[in-house]
Amino acid sequence: MDAYSAHGGNFIDTADMYNQWVEGHIGGESETIIGSWMKSRGNRSSMVIATKVSKMDSRPGLSAKNIFAACEESLNRLQTDCIDLYYSHEDDKSVELEETLGAYAQLIAQGKVRYIAASNFTPARLRESIKYSEDNNLPSYVAVQDLYNLVDRAGYEAEMAQTVAELGISNIPFYGIARGFLSGKYRPGITEVDSKRAAGAREYATEKNFEVLNAMDEIAKTHNVSLSAIALAWLRTQPTVSVPIASARTVEQLNELMQVVELSDNEVEILNAIS
């Protein structure tokens, strides 16, 4: 995080349920680390913090009671008075929109949350939620966080991209480098990669996607940057994307992600055609 800040990075994305899937963890560990870091560096005012509610095992769903409790717990772990962007981490159709959005309205009025967003919603449900907000003068989702990257396009582009464009909001996509596959570390014949994400990345190991990597190799050489930088640059050219999310496990990986490059129209067309 020090290296990220030194590069000029100021937006950090987390969730209350990170990393409850790790043995011995219960969730909240990521927020705790981020909060401790911001306090020790005294830099909260210069950071933009996004976190999420509804998928933590001990705080499931989008009822008002759960949102209020989860928000307080996240604020405490983050050691801050306000969450800049608060996501509904997944939809909860068992709760009326009035209750969920009303809870967010209270948190915003109290200064505990600035903006709200949605993740893992269907296009229809996103439209319904935003229309309800508009019709009832309630806070509205300003962004989505959906899976989208150069080798995983179909799910988002099928309908959600058009929905996001028509609603005038944006996507802050996760898995921006396809769980590490688009870093170029995973190639035909390479069986071992030192990464906890290796199994997920190998899901993308297809002949078509290896062709994408080959095209990225040439473009990366032209710009003298990493393949990860090319993957994120492609996402930035997409009209409904505001900023992509990518995870780094080491400072070396972070340095690759922070290489910002502007692709030419021709380079974008090449990547679009192959992928």
19-67 pLDDT, tens digit each? 999 999 999 999 999 999 999 999 999 999 999 999 999 999 999 999 9
Q: Are residues 110 and 182 in the same domain?
A: no
Q: Are residues 14 and 59 in the same domain?
A: yes
Q: Which residue in 18, 87, 156, 186 is the catalytic one?
A: 18
Alpha-carbon span 52 to 65, nearest angstrom: 15
Instruction: Tell me: cis bond preceding 10? Omega within 30 of 0 counts.
Output: no
Q: What is the pLDDT of residue 212?
A: 97
User: By the 8 A CB rule, do 237 and 162 touch?
Assistant: no
Q: Is 175 a catalytic residue?
A: no
Q: Are residues 133 and 180 in the same domain?
A: no
Domain ranges, residue 74:
1-145
Across the range 125-131, mean pLDDT stands at 98
Beta bridge partners of 12: 49
Domain total of the chain = 2
pLDDT in tens, 132-174: 999 999 999 999 999 999 999 999 999 999 999 999 999 999 9
The CATH number for 21's domain is 3.20.20.100
Percentage of the chain lying above the pLDDT 70 cut: 96
Residue 189's pLDDT band, with cuts at 50, 70 and 90, is low
Q: Are residues 50 and 141 in the same domain?
A: yes
Determine how β-strand 83-88 pairs with β-strand 113-119. Answer: parallel
Let me know if residue 95 belongs to a domain: yes
Let me know if residue 91 belongs to a domain: yes
User: By the 8 A CB rule, do 222 and 270 touch?
Assistant: no
Let me know if residue 164 belongs to a domain: no
Q: What is the pLDDT of residue 25?
A: 94
Domain final residue, candidates 123, 145, 167: 145
